[in-house]
Amino acid sequence: MTSKTRATRRVLVAKPRGYCAGVDRAVQAVERALEQYGAPIYVRKQIVHNTHVVKTLEARGAVFVEETEEVPEGAIVVFSAHGVSPAVHREAAQRRLKTIDATCPLVTKVHNEAKRFASQDYDILLIGHEGHEEVEGTAGEAPEHIQLVDGLDSVGSVRVKDPDRLVWLSQTTLSVDETTETVARLKERFPNLIDPPSDDICYATQNRQVAVKEIAAEAELVIVVGSENSSNSKRLVEVALDHGADASYLVDNASFIRDEWLQGVTTVGVTSGASVPEELVAEVLARLAAHGFEDVEEVESVEESVRFALPHELRKDLRAEV
């Protein structure tokens, strides 16, 4: 790639982008449940954090609720990709709900780490965003052991029982660079802080951040397709700005793009969050082409081949039908 001063209007499209394996699995779980059992299929919280995906599934008969108590007794409910706490599983059992757990396996890994370290009486510093569903689910695994660390500003307020029995875990969709900085600050206070046995920030989050860094270095403007409540999408905007883009915006779809963003711009970078279907990216590219950005180059930074099997509840029922 050449420098930003190129005269031809062009678009650099990051690869990988869009759906990750966990999102694909969760969306397929709702679709398969609708096919097997018929509507309505209840889903606790948004199955993934994308407005378009939620509306599409609603049109097919999915009913999204905030809490398990809103689901009629005995009905089918799907738990979202972000995971739930043990308390939610207990509530579902009390209401005799048939549950389909679409929690991303990489989130489940963090849950299992939390349970293991809590059973060994470690204090756990969970790096993440307060109020995010994934954080609530993980914290619910061992609330008496887990303390939330929401960014650098909260490091100073951390209090622990034993600084020699201390481990950090993280939400899977954070900025890799920011998390590294937060951990470094924590280790200044607690030198014996233990790292998790494997990286908690998921492969897709990391790969999409690596990819956006590459295109941001060449683009005056980076457009990130994703919804406002998508943590990993918002992190892509931040990463783009930190790595060379003059401007970066989060858009739910092509209609959110403002003409004034394109004035004086010769190179636009485009990427999408891990819960964004490719059709929304195609619409953005069409919108840019209508403004003269017809030279499109896909920039691949890393190859992805991860796939996850459907939730076991659906696989079990599929076997029973054969």
Catalytic residues: 134
Residue ranges of the annotated binding site for isopentenyl diphosphate are 49, 82, 132, 230-232, 275
Residue ranges of the annotated binding site for [4Fe-4S] cluster are 20, 104, 202
CA distances from 322 to 81, 141, 316 (A): 27, 36, 10
CA distances from 204 to 124, 220, 221, 315 (A): 24, 25, 22, 24
Residue ranges of the annotated binding site for dimethylallyl diphosphate are 49, 82, 132, 230-232, 275
In sequence order, what are the beta bridge partners of 296? 11
CB 78 within 8 A of CB 100: yes
CA 55 – CA 46 distance, rounded (Å): 10
Chain centroid to CA 300: how far? 20
- For the record, the structure tokens of 263 come out as 């004035």
Written as one letter, the residue type at 310 is: L
- For the record, the structure tokens of 109 come out as 């890994």
Residue ranges of the annotated binding site are 20, 49, 82, 104, 132, 172, 202, 230-232, 275
- For the record, the structure tokens of 116 come out as 């293991």
